[in-house]
Amino acid sequence: FKKNCFIMKKLITILFLGIFSFSFSQKNELNNLKVEILKTNDVSSTFGAANPFMTSSTNTKIAKKGMTFIMVKLKLKNEGKESLNVNFNKFKMTDNDNLKYEFSFIYGIGFPSIKTIKLKPGKKVKKFIYFEFPKEKELNELVIGKVKYSLK
């Protein structure tokens, strides 16, 4: 019984250290990402249908009733010394009541399935990301991890 308890304590310690080091590396990764918001725009509740470059109706996205798509044009720069995997699922948008809304999709090659991009050290990219957002609410902030960017 003592041997099993000892093994369990070791496993729990190893698991804790693994989780702590993973969350620490994620936090550092966000510190190396410079984010500049270039533009925000309400692009309506239907996306892709009127776009002449989209030939397939499978790329059309329709917002839920009472919702619209908000486009956020970003410039992202990796200021670190290692490549970053930017996961857009970690991006949230808040309204004037500080309610959070999830990232919906990114516009570009692979639309709408791409949720992450790899950004090499020193590299910059511009991306159009979209959120499904209530029509009657006001934009407040873009939240990436614990960092908040004003959208007002």
User: What per-residue string of b and e applies to 15-40 under the rule 16 or more CB within 10 Å gives b?
Assistant: eeeeeeeeeeeeeebeeebeeeeeeb
Closest CA to 67 of 135, 138, 136: 135
Q: Is the predicted pLDDT of residue 7 greater than 70, yes or no?
A: no
Give the torsion sign (CA, 69, 74, 80, 83). Answer: positive
Query: Beta 33-42 vs 67-78: how paired, if at all?
Result: antiparallel
How do residues 58-113 score in pLDDT, each as one tens digit? 567 788 899 999 999 999 999 999 999 999 999 999 999 999 999 988 876 555 56
How do residues 111-151 score in pLDDT, each as one tens digit? 556 788 899 999 999 999 999 999 999 999 999 988 999 99
Closest CA to 131 of 74, 50, 86: 74
Q: State the pTM of this model.
A: 0.71
How do residues 10-30 score in pLDDT, each as one tens digit? 555 555 444 443 333 344 456
